[in-house]
Amino acid sequence: MKVLFITNMYPVPDYIYFGIHVKEQIDALRKDEGVENDVYFINGRESKLNYFKSIFALRKKIEQGNYDLIHIHYGISGLFLLFYTPKVPVIVTLHSGELFQKKGYINHLMQKNLTMAIVKRVQKVIVLNDTMISLLDQYKDKLVKLPCGTDLELFSNSAEPKRAPHFTIGFPGNKARPEKNHPLFMQIITELRKASTIDIIEFHNLTREEVIAGLGKIDLLLMTSTVEGSPQIIKEAMACNRPIISTNVGDVDDLLAGVANSTVVNNLDFRDFLEPVVKIMNLPASARLSNGREKLIEMGLNSRKVSERIFHLYKETLQQK
């Protein structure tokens, strides 16, 4: 099977973590399921004009590429579908940012409207959480809930954590992005530092090796985001059995249900984060663990299992052609 992947999220030299979950999913499909692939990357960070250039470039690529199927990652990467209808089936994975406001209102409105128009023109829509399902209820016959998986061989709990002498908290993301809500994170840290020494590790634009090393050093991952889809760093921390405290975003409530030493906070009041954090701080270092890895296995969110499910969706979509 030959698949053309079209995405506006893919690692680039100045942002090596950008879309790494998309790249790893494509790599897993090739490795585990034998999917032959081409990747067309729309570098919207470089220039928004690249979206418009893709309209013409993709038509030529699709007509000459002899593909069996097209898989789009992120709604507006499918802009070409508003001008051209391929002869092969198209699947789109929505990653939440195209549906929920992360930047200015005009940007949000444009992205959402374009995405909804693109959804009409595809055969299947992969979504990451139940909120996205509710928003797209009119297309429920197309929807498949399938979060990205995590490589449990790469992210392992086998190595003994090498924690810093102080209590170390991980911040998951780029603090410059408004939806990551770094001000709330720092409100919590400021309050905690009145009584304890707190170190911070920021998980942003790191190599996989650096992420793994960082997860081995933290006592707790603290997510304060206002918008997420199915955050990879949460699943990576779970794979390493790290405690997690998070706002109720994306599918985090599902991911952390029943996970030891992990808490989902249902509001953005910094005071409501303090008690669960202090609870972890009061544990011996050796007890600052969760059973997150077990939960990922139970949910079938190993990258290999997710690859199997996506490949099955590919075959099912081709049969329905």
pLDDT bracket for residue 233 (50, 70, 90): very high
Q: What is the pTM of this model?
A: 0.93
Whole-angstrom Cα distance, residue 52 to residue 55?
5
Residue carrying structure tokens 């789009």: 72
Tell me, what's the pLDDT at 104?
66
Domains of the chain: 2-149+302-319 (3.40.50.2000), 167-299 (3.40.50.2000)
pLDDT at 159 over 80: no
Contact 80, 55 (CB under 8 A): yes
pLDDT at 101 over 80: no
Contact 39, 72 (CB under 8 A): no
Largest CA distance in the chain: 64
pLDDT at 106 over 80: no
Q: Assign residue 258 a region (left: φ > 0; alpha: ψ between -120 and 50; beta: otherwise).
A: left
pLDDT tens-place string over residues 38-73: 999 999 999 999 999 999 999 999 999 999 999 999
**Which CA distances in Å does 177 have to 69, 180, 226?**
34, 6, 11
Structure tokens at 250: 């994306």
Helix (H) or strand (E) holding 3: strand 2-7
Average pLDDT score over residue span 127-147? 95
Average pLDDT score over residue span 167-184? 95
Average pLDDT score over residue span 245-267? 97
pLDDT tens-place string over residues 310-320: 999 999 999 98
Whole-angstrom Cα distance, residue 250 to residue 94?
12
